[in-house]
Amino acid sequence: MPTATTTTAVAAEAARRRTFAVISHPDAGKSTITEALALHAHVIGEAGAVHGKAGRRGVVSDWMAMEQQRGISITSAVLQFAYRDLIINLLDTPGHADFSEDTYRVLTAVDCAVMLLDAAKGLEPQTLKLFEVCRARQIPVITFINKWDRPGQEPLALLDEIEQRIKLRPTPITWPVGIAGEFHGVIDRRAGEMTAFHRTPGGATAAVEEQLDPHQAAQRYGEDWRRAVEELDLLALTGADHDQAAFTAAVATPVLFGAAVANFGVRQLLDVLATHAPAPQARPDAEGQPRSVDAPFAGFVFKIQANMNKAHRDQVAFVRVCSGRFTRGMTAIHAGTGRPFATKYAQQMFGADRETIDEAYPGDVVGLVNATALGIGDTLYDGRAVAFPPLPSFVPEHFAVLRAADTSTYKRFKRGVEQLDAEGVVQVLRNDRRGEQAPVLAAVGPMQFEVAMARLDAEFGVTTGLEHLPYELARRTDRASEERLRGVAGAEVFTRVRDGALLALFTNGWRLRAIGDSSPGLTLDPLPAAG
């Protein structure tokens, strides 16, 4: 039994954790700001999270050749750093739209999100998609308007866009002095002081900051300062002040302005994370009962990744710690099976180097190596039993039959497909008509197919062929309806391997309605969307 002292110590450790992810459209500057944050703070460990682009310094992960070729981030990992007396965990989200399912899982493991916008572009499609996931999960969002060193939109217009399009009340913490493209610094709205930013050569280290009182700022920046003050007066009239309750209830968003590439505004972002972002809270279990952070250890798997590093061919389960103290070597119980799970190989650091982790607290992420017994969404616990809610599957919209090009490789093909299914890279569907050798892959976006095929090739030595199926819609059905749908044109029923669900696929909405109209009483339920 944990003693009173240890539970207090655990609560104190939880209180100094901030666990968040950056959500953004590709090219808004996520990699750049990740590096800038790590530079300002002190990096403790990284899990290949920073995907430096060609020509720029970065902790480049080489997990997937494809990822490098495309210059996008497909895999996710964690970066941990210390700032003031806090431990900050930054979980990387894949940048491509097709990986929303993976991103969604990452967002189940954070307590807060930073929405990164390009000052010239405002809200972009992928930002909106990711924001919807945050909204569905009621994740508090901090907005960072990036690239202020380049010509962009008016700051008030950007705030208006946030308010109108995503119905989140923007409450700026800082305000830019100088139009986008001529960025002098920011006003701290509460203190009324200005922080002037000065570039350091190459932007390689933290920006040089200079504190100016309003008088000094007015003297130096004249018209730009007056304009900023006027805009602030307008803001004050609309009551756009930081409201902690509205922020944590995910109805208001603190807004900051900066330029990640020059490290402008990055310290201010860290300060807002430190001061306002929520620390880990009691997490509700599958029955809705909260498990307090100082209860004995419990956590859930939000991501599984195999073959992350060619030198270590194994499977890693990423566990978000929700309660208690995790210590390496402890034996936890796997909620699904009730079996003990030894955590001998707990690690925090991947990519080129690995580092063993000895303990972790709520908000932290632990990588469990050789964790083949664990699946996505599984709970591990110590002490009083708990099971956190399972992670939902996304509604697939693309379907294709996958086959091994050479039947002699079938065994490896089968193993590979099982692996990809376990990791949730794609959903795997089967039915008797198509048989064992022709599984159907279901995806939210078609790029998931490419990833699956590239990995089967690179990791299992299997060349595969893909035959796209004409289906676009999936509905949940049952055995009785499956019988009735047999032989109906434009429809086909499959079993989803991951959870045994029966899915009826249709070529389009018109076909679905026509079939429903001509055969009343069929069970065709929409699949639960994310949220």
DSSP strand pairing (86-91 vs 17-24): parallel
For the CB of residue 21, give the shortest distance to ligand GDP in the complex, in Å.
13
Specify the stretch interacting with ligand GDP by CB under 6 A; choose among 144-152, 222-230, 317-325, 399-407. Answer: 144-152
27 or 132, CB closer to ligand GDP?
27
**Residue 158 lies near ligand GDP (rule: CB under 6 A):** no
Count other Cβ atoms within 10 Å, centred on residue 192: 12
Angle at 113 between CA 33 and CA 50, to 5 degrees: 35
48 or 439, CB closer to ligand GDP?
48
**Residue 48 lies near ligand GDP (rule: CB under 6 A):** no
**Residue 37 lies near ligand GDP (rule: CB under 6 A):** no
Q: By CB under 6 A, name the one of 8, 12, 53, 204 that touches ligand GDP.
A: 53
Closest CA to 321 of 306, 311, 332: 332
Query: Which residues have CB under 8 Å from 390's CB, separation 6+?
Result: 286, 377
Task: State how far the Cα of 278 lies from the Cα of 241, in Å rounded to an integer.
Answer: 18
Residue 525 annotated as binding site: no
Count other Cβ atoms within 10 Å, centred on residue 191: 10
Residue 108 annotated as binding site: no
Specify the stretch interacting with ligand GDP by CB under 6 A; choose among 19-27, 296-304, 399-407, 468-476. Answer: 19-27
Q: Which two tokens stand for residue 466?
A: 């893909």
Q: Which amino acid is at 405?
A: A
DSSP strand pairing (491-496 vs 464-468): unpaired
Q: By CB under 6 A, name the one of 45, 48, 94, 95 that touches ligand GDP.
A: 95
27 or 450, CB closer to ligand GDP?
27
**Residue 265 lies near ligand GDP (rule: CB under 6 A):** no
Closest CA to 472 of 399, 394, 393: 399
Specify the stretch interacting with ligand GDP by CB under 6 A; choose among 147-155, 244-252, 296-304, 487-495. Answer: 147-155
21 or 28, CB closer to ligand GDP?
28
Residue 95 annotated as binding site: yes
Task: State how far the Cα of 177 lies from the Cα of 231, in Å rounded to an integer.
Answer: 10
Specify the stretch interacting with ligand GDP by CB under 6 A; choose among 78-86, 142-150, 173-181, 444-452. Answer: 142-150
Contacts with ligand GDP by CB under 6 A: the residue count is 17
Contact 464, 402 (CB under 8 A): yes
Q: By CB under 6 A, name the one of 60, 64, 259, 308 that touches ligand GDP.
A: 259
Specify the stretch interacting with ligand GDP by CB under 6 A; choose among 4-12, 105-113, 132-140, 253-261. Answer: 253-261
**Residue 92 lies near ligand GDP (rule: CB under 6 A):** no
Task: State how far the Cα of 418 lies from the Cα of 428, in Å rounded to an integer.
Answer: 8
Contact 506, 472 (CB under 8 A): yes
DSSP strand pairing (331-334 vs 379-381): antiparallel
Contact 148, 268 (CB under 8 A): no
* DSSP character at residue 486: T
String marking each residue 333-352 x if it binds ligand GDP according to CB under 6 A: --------------------
**Residue 79 lies near ligand GDP (rule: CB under 6 A):** no
Annotated binding residues, as ranges? 92-96
Residues that bind ligand GDP (CB under 6 A): 24, 26-32, 53, 95, 146-147, 149-150, 259-261
Annotated binding residues for GTP, as ranges? 92-96
